[in-house]
Structure 1
Amino acid sequence: MKVTTPRLTQHVLTVEGRAGGEPVLFVHGNVSSGAFWRDTMAALPAGYRPLAVDLRGFGESDPAPVDATRGLRDYSDDVLELLDALGLDGVHLVGWSMGGGVVLQALRDRPAAVRSVTLVNPISPYGFGGTEGPDGRLTHPDGTGAGAGAANPDFVARLKAGDMSDESPTSPRSVLRSSYVKNPAVLTDEDFYVRSMLTTRVGDAHYPGDAAASDAWPGVAPGKQGVLNAIAPTHFRLDDLHEIAPRPPVLWIRGADDAIVSDTSLFDLAHLGALGVVPGSPGTPAQPMVTQTRAVLERYGRYREVVFADCGHSPHLEHPAEFQRLLADHLKDA
């Protein structure tokens, strides 16, 4: 269904015959859409109303530009307006990858509207790239190492061209197989997910955003527009979650072998520098993304962490039965 708010028109995926019950809003990650939640939504127990939103610039929602200087608030404000438009309160929020950051920002800004939170391999509360240590301190004041300049240009070009092939390791299909999951055999409907990835709007105002240069290694810094700049640590930081009230329960589910969100992420330029993939590294340490999330949630206090063995970036796709059981139990307990 389409829902128009003062900000934009958003596409929301629903499940036929499930218009009542406690609302559960699923928020997807970067280079995807609400379609990635299709099977999880269908498996949700009776008594819940599953909804999955396409964030701006993804899926069938309006391609409104992203003001990265607001961090993820363009997305989280859209989500909060969606809840208002649908008359929803006491919502269970489920966020995957970048969607985890969107969900946490919504929680930070309107905690009274949230009944529970489920984080699925979420980005760090200190953004993606450009920080060190569990406290998320900036490696350089300008956020060097983060932002749109960190994107692989061939992947961006193939995404823009709608490439459905697997002819290159940087095609969307190849990235889905190598990075979104650990074992691509779990993707029984691979074309479905590739088509979802290809709904991503590409450009300075969308993915990856406008690139900026830096005098420090590796030579890129966050710009002011678009997706990757919105998750840069100079724009997105959530180290005060423990100060909100009320504090609904948080379930944090992650794959042990995640290549994207990790203390040794293969998408972090600092870690790639340590591996020698990006030359000239002065010894900048990798961003400890998982450690940072744990530090913030430890201060928050009301959370549970569950790690799936033999699992990559997408526990809901890779181990669906166990994921669905944990989610159902968490919703019930909340």
Structure 2
Amino acid sequence: MPDALLPGITATRVPTARLTQNVLHPEGTEPAGPGEAVLFVHGNVSSSLFWQPTVLAVHGTGRRVLAVDLRGYGDTDPVPVDARRGVRDWADDLGALFDALGLDRVHLVGWSMGAGVVLQRLLDDPARVASVTLVAPVSPYGFGGTAGAEGRRLAGDGAGSGGGAANPEFVAALAAGDTTDAAPTSPRSILRAFYVAPGSLPLDPALEDVFVAAMLSTRTGEDHYPGDSAPSDTWPGTAPGPRGVLNTMAPTVFDVSGVVDLPAKPPVLWIRGDADAIVSDTSAFDLAFLGQLGAVPGWPGAETCPPQPMVTQTRAVLDRYAATGGAYREVVLPGVGHSPHVERPQEFVVALLEHLVAPAAEPANLT
């Protein structure tokens, strides 16, 4: 971990009531204490290391800024992930971190899977959430196995989602610590091809190495990534199991659309790229879309198993959020993939700071 820290960043392991969590923060600042903080939550197959340039930029505006490693990633304890609780293991870990650091109110920034964790934390403890920023967020209805703007489940057992949807060659490359770009399924190749729009990584090769190190910090196996799976009689023949990362986002256990019913709604910033190949209405990681393309055999057709409209589902929930007293702003960055904070760091920080300074003034659904 020390070799992957940028100048000006330090790491502190924070004991909490649930586990010891690794927190990145600017050097010379104290992560604990009353008041507000901005907490960055990473996505799947990554770690807090991805947030370092953003942490430094936001710290320069005088805010207390933290980035946490979720369990099973980075330097946080690799405690098993109980997928029967959806993403609540991680969300509860955040609550324990708030308690351990004595934080009163937190501006939560979640990327991809981390955005789902942030929304779960909002559902469970809205009083301590000052604002929410969703960065290329997983759909409020999870990843895989749903259809329509309303997140209709395609099969009772969640077929098409969960641990069985992972590419075994990518999992093997993670487990082996592969740092090369020799195979298209190596972490470095996946970073270049899917985490960002092709060609939009920062030019500094050392920063790319940091991001690969973050990906390789992912624990693998049935208790972590990707998790276990169960056979299904429904195409594509795999359903989620009770353990591990991908199963936490199965529609059988994950649904954070209930944020629309909160009596008090903090403001939401939704920022994404229009070239995102991971979270999309045509996601390259959605088995239904891959089946439509012919990449997964036996696809039963669009009437039975349409691709999941992930962006449409998020917009539908946020529109309801706004219609029931909340407010959100959508920022779409052209030519940007799954990592707006990496690909367009200045534009990302500007949008975030506007949100933190005057979130209550943000109208809904501005692009």
Does the alignment reach a TM-score above 0.5? yes
Contact 1:131 1:139 in 2 (8 A): yes
Aligned to 1:209: 227
**Structure 2 residue runs without a partner (length 5+):** 1-11, 360-367
Separation of aligned partners in 1, 2:330 and 2:146: 23
Deviations 1:179-204 (A, max 9, x none): 00003452322111001100000010
Aligned to 1:85: 100
**1:138 and 2:156 matched:** no
Separation of aligned partners in 1, 2:26 and 2:201: 23
- Say which of 275, 285, 306 aligns to 1:285: 306
Contact 1:112 1:245 in 2 (8 A): no
Aligned to 1:238: 256
User: SS of the counterpart of 2:285?
Assistant: coil
User: SS of the counterpart of 2:122?
Assistant: helix
Separation of aligned partners in 1, 2:164 and 2:355: 38
**1:111 and 2:129 matched:** no
Separation of aligned partners in 2, 1:233 and 1:216: 15
Separation of aligned partners in 2, 1:117 and 1:69: 25
Separation of aligned partners in 2, 1:248 and 1:9: 28
**1:294 and 2:315 matched:** yes
Aligned to 1:41: 55
User: SS of the counterpart of 2:311?
Assistant: helix
Aligned to 2:242: 224
Aligned to 1:326: 351
Separation of aligned partners in 2, 1:280 and 1:77: 39
Residues 87-102 of structure 1 mapped to structure 2, 5 A cutoff: 87-102=102-117
Residues 1-334 of structure 1 mapped to structure 2, 5 A cutoff: 1-19=12-30, 22-44=36-58, 45-187=60-202, 188=204, 189-283=207-301, 284-301=305-322, 302-334=327-359
Contact 2:200 2:343 in 1 (8 A): no
Deviations 1:7-53 (A, max 9, x none): 10000000113438730000000000001000000000423111000
User: SS of the counterpart of 1:186?
Assistant: coil
TM-score normalized by structure 1? 0.98
User: SS of the counterpart of 2:130?
Assistant: strand
Contact 1:18 1:48 in 2 (8 A): no
Matching residue's letter, 1:248: P
Separation of aligned partners in 2, 1:274 and 1:112: 43
Percent identical pairs in the alignment equals 63
| Higher deviation after alignment, 217-226 or 178-187 | 178-187
Separation of aligned partners in 1, 2:184 and 2:198: 16
Separation of aligned partners in 2, 1:246 and 1:17: 35
Separation of aligned partners in 1, 2:260 and 2:211: 36
Q: CA deviation at 1:66?
A: 0.5
User: SS of the counterpart of 1:91?
Assistant: strand
User: SS of the counterpart of 2:119?
Assistant: helix
Matching residue's letter, 2:308: Q
Separation of aligned partners in 2, 1:313 and 1:40: 16
Separation of aligned partners in 2, 1:286 and 1:303: 26
Separation of aligned partners in 2, 1:178 and 1:46: 33
Aligned to 2:8: none
How many residue pairs end up in the alignment?
334
Deviations 1:154-194 (A, max 9, x none): 00001000000111100000000000000345232211100
User: SS of the counterpart of 1:92?
Assistant: strand
Separation of aligned partners in 2, 1:259 and 1:104: 22
User: SS of the counterpart of 1:2?
Assistant: strand
Separation of aligned partners in 2, 1:104 and 1:145: 23
Q: CA deviation at 1:243?
A: 1.2
User: SS of the counterpart of 2:50?
Assistant: helix
TM-score normalized by structure 2? 0.89
Separation of aligned partners in 1, 2:200 and 2:318: 33
Contact 1:22 1:47 in 2 (8 A): no
